[in-house]
A and B are shown apart, each in its own frame.
Chain A
Protein backbone atom coordinates (compact mmCIF):
# COMPACT_ATOMS: atom_id res chain seq x y z
CA UNK A 1 0.00 0.00 0.00
CA UNK A 2 2.80 2.40 0.90
CA UNK A 3 4.68 1.44 -2.25
CA UNK A 4 1.59 2.13 -4.35
CA UNK A 5 1.06 5.53 -2.71
CA UNK A 6 4.67 6.43 -3.33
CA UNK A 7 4.44 5.54 -7.04
CA UNK A 8 1.10 7.28 -7.64
CA UNK A 9 2.34 10.35 -5.76
CA UNK A 10 5.56 10.49 -7.78
CA UNK A 11 3.69 10.26 -11.09
CA UNK A 12 1.32 13.06 -10.04
CA UNK A 13 4.26 15.23 -8.96
CA UNK A 14 6.00 14.79 -12.32
CA UNK A 15 2.79 15.62 -14.21
CA UNK A 16 2.49 18.78 -12.10
CA UNK A 17 6.09 19.70 -12.94
CA UNK A 18 5.32 19.30 -16.65
CA UNK A 19 2.39 21.71 -16.35
CA UNK A 20 4.54 24.24 -14.47
CA UNK A 21 7.11 23.99 -17.28
CA UNK A 22 4.39 24.48 -19.91
CA UNK A 23 3.12 27.55 -18.08
CA UNK A 24 6.58 29.12 -17.89
CA UNK A 25 7.26 28.31 -21.55
CA UNK A 26 3.95 29.90 -22.54
CA UNK A 27 4.69 33.00 -20.49
CA UNK A 28 7.98 33.38 -22.35
CA UNK A 29 6.83 32.50 -25.87
CA UNK A 30 3.23 33.69 -26.27
CA UNK A 31 2.78 36.99 -28.12
CA UNK A 32 0.40 39.14 -26.02
CA UNK A 33 -1.10 39.66 -22.57
CA UNK A 34 -4.24 37.62 -23.21
CA UNK A 35 -2.47 34.49 -24.41
CA UNK A 36 0.06 34.78 -21.59
CA UNK A 37 -2.81 34.83 -19.10
CA UNK A 38 -3.94 31.56 -20.62
CA UNK A 39 -0.49 30.03 -20.11
CA UNK A 40 -0.29 31.35 -16.53
CA UNK A 41 -3.58 29.74 -15.53
CA UNK A 42 -2.28 26.37 -16.72
CA UNK A 43 0.52 26.59 -14.18
CA UNK A 44 -1.84 27.93 -11.50
CA UNK A 45 -4.65 25.43 -11.83
CA UNK A 46 -3.20 22.21 -13.21
CA UNK A 47 0.46 22.46 -12.19
CA UNK A 48 -0.20 23.36 -8.58
CA UNK A 49 -3.22 21.02 -8.52
CA UNK A 50 -1.22 17.98 -9.58
CA UNK A 51 1.67 18.81 -7.25
CA UNK A 52 -0.72 19.18 -4.31
CA UNK A 53 -2.55 15.95 -5.22
CA UNK A 54 0.75 14.09 -5.46
CA UNK A 55 1.85 15.37 -2.06
CA UNK A 56 -1.55 14.72 -0.45
CA UNK A 57 -1.47 11.10 -1.62
CA UNK A 58 1.85 10.66 0.20
CA UNK A 59 0.75 12.50 3.34
CA UNK A 60 0.88 10.34 6.44
CA UNK A 61 -2.14 11.85 8.19
CA UNK A 62 -5.53 13.09 7.04
CA UNK A 63 -4.92 16.45 8.71
CA UNK A 64 -1.89 17.19 6.53
CA UNK A 65 -3.64 15.96 3.37
CA UNK A 66 -6.72 18.11 4.05
CA UNK A 67 -4.58 21.16 4.73
CA UNK A 68 -2.80 20.66 1.44
CA UNK A 69 -6.08 20.22 -0.42
CA UNK A 70 -7.35 23.49 1.10
CA UNK A 71 -4.60 25.44 -0.68
CA UNK A 72 -5.81 24.34 -4.11
CA UNK A 73 -9.34 25.85 -4.03
CA UNK A 74 -7.79 29.06 -2.76
CA UNK A 75 -5.32 29.11 -5.67
CA UNK A 76 -8.14 28.26 -8.12
CA UNK A 77 -10.39 31.09 -6.93
CA UNK A 78 -7.48 33.53 -6.78
CA UNK A 79 -6.21 32.75 -10.27
CA UNK A 80 -9.71 32.94 -11.77
CA UNK A 81 -10.39 36.30 -10.12
CA UNK A 82 -6.99 37.81 -10.92
CA UNK A 83 -7.03 36.62 -14.54
CA UNK A 84 -10.49 38.08 -15.06
CA UNK A 85 -9.48 41.40 -13.50
CA UNK A 86 -6.28 41.69 -15.54
CA UNK A 87 -7.92 40.70 -18.84
CA UNK A 88 -10.75 43.16 -18.26
CA UNK A 89 -8.34 45.97 -17.37
CA UNK A 90 -6.24 45.18 -20.46
CA UNK A 91 -9.36 45.44 -22.61
CA UNK A 92 -10.34 48.75 -20.97
CA UNK A 93 -6.85 50.14 -21.62
CA UNK A 94 -7.14 49.08 -25.30
CA UNK A 95 -4.12 46.80 -25.30
CA UNK A 96 -4.31 45.22 -28.77
CA UNK A 97 -4.77 41.48 -29.09
CA UNK A 98 -2.22 39.69 -31.24
CA UNK A 99 -3.39 38.89 -34.78
CA UNK A 100 -1.93 36.30 -37.12
CA UNK A 101 1.04 37.83 -38.91
CA UNK A 102 1.83 40.44 -36.24
CA UNK A 103 5.23 40.58 -34.66
CA UNK A 104 5.09 39.22 -31.11
CA UNK A 105 5.27 42.02 -28.58
Chain B
Protein backbone atom coordinates (compact mmCIF):
# COMPACT_ATOMS: atom_id res chain seq x y z
CA UNK B 1 0.00 0.00 0.00
CA UNK B 2 2.87 2.37 0.74
CA UNK B 3 5.14 1.24 -2.05
CA UNK B 4 4.32 4.32 -4.15
CA UNK B 5 6.21 6.57 -1.74
CA UNK B 6 9.28 4.34 -1.89
CA UNK B 7 9.23 4.12 -5.68
CA UNK B 8 8.80 7.89 -6.00
CA UNK B 9 11.70 8.51 -3.58
CA UNK B 10 13.89 6.27 -5.74
CA UNK B 11 12.75 8.17 -8.86
CA UNK B 12 13.69 11.50 -7.28
CA UNK B 13 17.08 10.04 -6.35
CA UNK B 14 17.64 9.13 -10.03
CA UNK B 15 16.68 12.72 -10.92
CA UNK B 16 19.42 13.91 -8.57
CA UNK B 17 21.95 11.63 -10.29
CA UNK B 18 21.01 13.16 -13.65
CA UNK B 19 21.32 16.67 -12.23
CA UNK B 20 24.90 15.85 -11.18
CA UNK B 21 25.84 16.19 -14.87
CA UNK B 22 24.85 19.85 -14.77
CA UNK B 23 26.89 20.37 -11.60
CA UNK B 24 29.88 18.79 -13.32
CA UNK B 25 29.60 20.65 -16.62
CA UNK B 26 28.87 24.17 -15.38
CA UNK B 27 29.77 26.24 -17.36
CA UNK B 28 29.28 29.14 -14.94
CA UNK B 29 29.46 28.90 -11.17
CA UNK B 30 25.77 29.71 -11.01
CA UNK B 31 24.88 26.57 -12.96
CA UNK B 32 26.63 24.43 -10.38
CA UNK B 33 24.82 26.31 -7.64
CA UNK B 34 21.47 25.74 -9.36
CA UNK B 35 22.18 22.00 -9.26
CA UNK B 36 22.95 22.33 -5.54
CA UNK B 37 19.65 24.15 -5.00
CA UNK B 38 17.82 21.40 -6.87
CA UNK B 39 19.54 18.91 -4.55
CA UNK B 40 18.09 20.83 -1.60
CA UNK B 41 14.51 20.82 -2.88
CA UNK B 42 14.58 17.24 -4.13
CA UNK B 43 16.23 16.19 -0.87
CA UNK B 44 13.30 17.68 1.03
CA UNK B 45 10.91 15.74 -1.22
CA UNK B 46 12.81 12.49 -0.71
CA UNK B 47 12.90 12.91 3.08
CA UNK B 48 9.16 13.60 3.22
CA UNK B 49 8.42 10.56 1.06
CA UNK B 50 10.67 8.40 3.23
CA UNK B 51 8.86 9.63 6.34
CA UNK B 52 5.72 8.07 4.86
CA UNK B 53 7.27 5.02 3.24
CA UNK B 54 8.03 3.50 6.64
CA UNK B 55 4.47 3.56 8.00
CA UNK B 56 2.80 0.19 8.21
CA UNK B 57 -0.82 0.43 7.16
CA UNK B 58 -1.83 2.61 10.10
CA UNK B 59 -1.60 6.12 8.67
CA UNK B 60 -0.96 7.73 12.07
CA UNK B 61 2.50 6.20 12.30
CA UNK B 62 4.39 8.76 10.24
CA UNK B 63 8.06 9.23 11.02
CA UNK B 64 7.90 12.86 12.17
CA UNK B 65 11.65 13.04 12.78
CA UNK B 66 12.30 12.92 9.05
CA UNK B 67 9.80 15.75 8.55
CA UNK B 68 11.83 17.90 10.96
CA UNK B 69 15.00 17.04 9.06
CA UNK B 70 13.31 18.05 5.80
CA UNK B 71 12.33 21.41 7.33
CA UNK B 72 15.94 22.07 8.36
CA UNK B 73 17.22 21.07 4.91
CA UNK B 74 14.83 23.52 3.22
CA UNK B 75 16.08 26.27 5.54
CA UNK B 76 19.76 25.50 4.91
CA UNK B 77 19.28 25.36 1.12
CA UNK B 78 17.72 28.85 1.22
CA UNK B 79 20.59 30.24 3.30
CA UNK B 80 23.17 28.61 1.01
CA UNK B 81 21.57 30.10 -2.09
CA UNK B 82 21.38 33.63 -0.69
CA UNK B 83 24.93 33.46 0.68
CA UNK B 84 26.15 32.30 -2.73
CA UNK B 85 24.42 35.06 -4.68
CA UNK B 86 25.24 37.90 -2.30
CA UNK B 87 28.75 37.00 -1.12
CA UNK B 88 30.46 34.05 -2.80
CA UNK B 89 29.79 34.62 -6.51
CA UNK B 90 32.55 36.86 -7.87
CA UNK B 91 33.27 37.88 -11.44
CA UNK B 92 34.60 34.79 -13.22
CA UNK B 93 36.90 36.75 -15.53
CA UNK B 94 38.84 38.00 -12.49
CA UNK B 95 39.99 34.53 -11.50
Contacts and interface: CB of A to CB of B under 8 A. Distances in A.
The 7 closest A-B pairs by CB, nearest first: A78-B78, A82-B81, A85-B85, A60-B60, A60-B59, A24-B15, A86-B85
B75 A82 contact: no
B30 A20 contact: no
B18 A48 contact: no
Contacts, number: 142
Interface of B: 1, 4-5, 8, 11-12, 15-16, 18-19, 21-22, 27-28, 30-31, 33-35, 37-38, 41-42, 44-45, 48-49, 51-52, 58-62, 64, 67, 70-71, 74-75, 77-78, 81-82, 84-86, 89, 91-92
A52 B48 contact: yes
Interface in A14-42: 14, 16-17, 20-21, 23-24, 27-28, 33, 36-37, 40
Interface residues of A, number: 48
Contacts of A2: 59
B49 A71 contact: no
Contacts of B19: 24, 27-28
Interface of A: 2, 6, 10, 13-14, 16-17, 20-21, 23-24, 27-28, 33, 36-37, 40, 43-44, 47-48, 51-52, 55, 58-61, 64, 67-68, 70-71, 74-75, 77-79, 81-82, 85-86, 88-90, 93, 95, 105
Contacts of B28: 33, 90, 95, 105
Contact of B81 (A27, A43, A61, A78): A78
Contacts of A6: 1
Nearest to B27: A105
Contacts of B81: 78, 81-82, 85-86
